[in-house]
Amino acid sequence: MFDLSWIDLIILVLASFRLTHLIVFDEITSFLRTPFYQVLYVPDESGQMVRDFHFKGGRVRQWIGRLLSCHWCVGIWVGALIVGLYMYVPAAYPLLLLLAIAGAAAVIETKLYSS
């Protein structure tokens, strides 16, 4: 077992949040998602626009597309990667800290603009 401080836990959580969001939602990483699915916006019964996914290719490509479109699914794998980096690659700590700072900034910005 390893000893994990509260501050390190917060850093890992925020880093995982930010990297998951980067993979699933951010425009800068759309090149990762484009081979697997396309997002369409269609109106629902009330006229609100909702995201609709068109998954591409065969079963494997569609499976990867479904994985990449799900923040819960990507979050599990990103969490495993983040913990692995923390435990086995100490030199990755500055990257984890950078992701955590960006994650905290995203949370703060979301709270400021949602009010």
Q: Please state, in angstroms and rounded to a whole number, the distance separating the CA atoms of residues 109 and 31.
A: 25
Q: Please state, in angstroms and rounded to a whole number, the distance separating the CA atoms of residues 112 and 62.
A: 36
pLDDT at 53: 94
pLDDT at 19: 98
Tokens of 7: 């501050």
Q: 34, 25, 6, 38: which is closest to 103 by C-alpha?
A: 25
pLDDT at 114: 78
Q: Please state, in angstroms and rounded to a whole number, the distance separating the CA atoms of residues 51 and 53.
A: 7
Phi/psi at 47 (nearest 5 deg)? 90, -5
Per-run averaged pLDDT (10 residues), the chain, 115 residues: 89 98 96 96 93 96 96 98 97 98 95 79
State the pTM of this model: 0.89
pLDDT at 3: 86
Q: Measuring CA to CA, how many Å separate 82 from each of 61, 108, 113? A: 25, 22, 28
pLDDT at 64: 97
Q: Please state, in angstroms and rounded to a whole number, the distance separating the CA atoms of residues 109 and 27.
A: 18
